Amino acid sequence: MAGGAGFIGSHYVRELVAGAYAGWQGCEVTVLDSLTYAGNLANLAEVRDAVTFVRGDICDGRLLAEVLPGHDVVLNFAAETHVDRSIADSAEFLRTNVQGVQSLMQACLTAGVPTIVQVSTDEVYGSIEAGSWSEDAPLAPNSPYAAAKAGGDLIALAYARTYGLPVRITRCGNNYGPYQFPEKVIPLFLTRLMDGRSVPLYGDGRNVRDWIHVADHCRGIQTVVERGAPGEVYHIAGTAELTNLELTQHLLDAVGGSWDAVERVPDRKGHDRRYSLSDAKLRALGYAPRVPFADGLAETVAWYRANRHWWEPLRKQLDAVPHD
């Protein structure tokens, strides 16, 4: 797994090693991660002895040529993902999310990997006023992050169409759950509120996002690994479409906070208004999300309360800015 020490990738690794996916118990797992600021070996601590860890960059073709041969499945979780960072400086996003995908696809082609999944995002579609996107919706990204992810997706699909590379693409909404780096909105708000600090809210707070627990996202990815068709795109929709105002209220309620702790700040540049995915194509393969938002949020809050030792050093790296 490329990017297997990050938030989503490490969850997938922990689930895979723990036997959460029937028929995959005891498989050999390799994690490739460059351990940038959001990659963390602590995310793999409970399964560290059950995986082979390789520190490296997906842009390193020579390393990929050494690591990939013999692997039956390659999943690409590796990405720069934070919109605010991409607005401040997009260069690393283009390198990892576009060049990195090309390097990985080429290495998979050379190694003859039979199953590849490129993990992507709903943000590649831009903003939708009403309804939900299907997988054939045109790409119209608005942020440098989203544009870089769209570029990587197009590279992957080009390899599928030109070379017959057996790659599938998944696109998902906003994830939440344990081990999420505290620059993202839910852990950012939770950790600041737990310390009695203020939290920043962009603009009018009416931007809508589709929220999915990371366990459901990973279960959707596994469905695509097992039953997805090469060259196809699959949406993994969440269980709650919420405005940022509604999300903030949920988070305040979860920690006993009040709106006095919310600081209104100027809106993000190019801030997409609403995302929404139709997941009928994936549901036809037998997938359905299992974690209701209320239950998943309660579990997430409990985890951050119990794991201050994990998030407190990370939060010290961050500026007090809102995140999406």
Average pLDDT over the chain, rounded to whole? Answer: 95
* 37 labelled catalytic: no
Domain 7-179+213-238+270-292 architecture: 3-Layer(aba) Sandwich (3.40)
Instruction: Let me know: does 145 contact 178? Beta carbons within 8 Å.
Output: no
**Per-residue confidence (pLDDT) for residue 86, from 0 to 100:** 86
Helix (H) or strand (E) holding 293: helix 293-306
Identify the bridge partners of residue 263 per DSSP, sorted by sequence position. Answer: 200
**Per-residue confidence (pLDDT) for residue 319, from 0 to 100:** 52
* 324 labelled catalytic: no
- Grade residue 18 by pLDDT with cuts at 50, 70 and 90: very high
Q: What is the pLDDT of residues 52-100, one digit of tens each?
A: 999 999 999 999 999 999 999 999 999 988 898 888 889 999 999 999 9
**What is d(CA 26, CA 51) in angstroms, rounded to the nearest whole number?**
11
Which residue positions form the known binding site?
Answer: 7-8, 33, 36, 57-58, 79, 81, 96, 149, 174-175, 185, 200, 202, 209, 244, 268
Active-site choice (122, 183, 279, 324)? 122
Q: Is the pLDDT confidence value at 288 over 80? A: yes
Active-site choice (123, 153, 216, 241)? 123
Query: What DSSP designation does 268 have?
Result: P
Instruction: Let me know: does 46 contact 90? Beta carbons within 8 Å.
Output: no
Quickly tell me which residue has 């600081």 as its tokens: 263
Q: What is the pLDDT of residues 22-54, one digit of tens each?
A: 999 999 999 999 999 889 999 999 999 999 999
Active-site choice (12, 21, 125, 145)? 145
Query: Which among 147, 11, 145 has a CA at the least distance from the CA of 75?
Result: 11
* 123 labelled catalytic: yes
Q: Is the pLDDT confidence value at 271 over 60? A: yes
**DSSP of 83-151:** HHHHHH--HHHHIIIIIHHHHHHHHHHHHT-SEEEEEEEGGGG---SSS-B-TTSPP---SHHHHHHHH
The mean pLDDT value for 201-223 works out to 98
pTM of the shown model: 0.95
**What is d(CA 226, CA 229) in angstroms, rounded to the nearest whole number?**
9
Q: What is the pLDDT of residues 167-201, one digit of tens each?
A: 999 999 999 999 999 999 999 999 999 999 999 99
Those residues with Cβ within 8 angstroms of residue 12's Cβ, 6 or more apart along the chain or in another chain: 1, 4, 75, 77, 218, 221, 222
**What is d(CA 23, CA 39) in angstroms, rounded to the nearest whole number?**
28
Q: Where are the domains of the chain?
A: 7-179+213-238+270-292
**Per-residue confidence (pLDDT) for residue 323, from 0 to 100:** 45
Which residue positions form the known binding site for NAD(+)?
Answer: 7-8, 33, 36, 57-58, 79, 81, 96, 149, 175
